[in-house]
């Protein structure tokens, strides 16, 4: 079982994340490339960070399911936001998604950075992820 925690001796997390996560030897690591807010048809879900972030997490959910995993298997997230003006929308969508994915507040580790731009000017949020899948649920080739 994945173990996530924030030990004494460091400040409490500033948002929805744990400081540490450990993965048992019997798990397979699954690396998810940076996801943007594009729907299956390749069109962005919207021009705003909230719409794009919701779609980013929907995409991550779809990719996890394709590998026999669920959000509870997430170990690490890395969010990139193109400009501080997009932080409120990104955080609002993340809070909404995390309320459903992690109702007990057992959040994965997570870093968020503000960058000047992403791969295209219309993309305002991108999230990479790492999950740990029990050996019995190894990803399909």
Is 105 a domain residue? yes
Residue range(s) defining the domain that contains residue 106 = 27-135
Q: Tell me if 17 is assigned to some domain.
A: no
Note whether residue 10 is domain-resident.
no
- Does some domain include residue 90? yes
17-52 pLDDT, tens digit per residue, is 999 999 999 999 999 999 999 999 999 999 999 999
C-alpha torsion sign, points 76, 129, 95, 67: negative
In a domain, 78, yes or no: yes
Interval 49-73: pLDDT, tens: 999 999 999 999 999 999 999 999 9
Structure tokens at 108: 């994965």
Q: What is the count of structural domains for the chain? A: 1
Q: What is the pTM of this model?
A: 0.90
Q: What CATH number did the domain enclosing 70 receive?
A: 3.30.1330.40
């Amino acid at each position: 079982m994945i173990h996530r925690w924030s030990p004494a001796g460091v400040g409490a997390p500033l948002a929805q994340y744990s400081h540490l996560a450990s993965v048992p030897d019997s798990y397979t690591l699954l690396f998810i490339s940076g996801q943007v807010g594009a729907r299956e048809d390749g069109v962005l879900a919207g021009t705003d960070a909230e719409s794009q972030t919701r779609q980013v997490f929907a995409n991550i959910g779809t990719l996890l399911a394709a590998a026999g995993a669920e959000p509870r298997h997430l170990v690490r997230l890395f969010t990139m936001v193109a400009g501080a003006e997009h932080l409120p929308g990104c955080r609002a969508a993340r809070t909404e998604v995390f309320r459903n994915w992690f109702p007990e507040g057992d959040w994965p580790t997570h870093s968020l950075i503000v960058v000047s731009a992403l791969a295209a000017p219309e993309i305002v949020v991108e999230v990479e992820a790492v999950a740990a899948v029990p050996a019995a649920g190894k990803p399909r080739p």
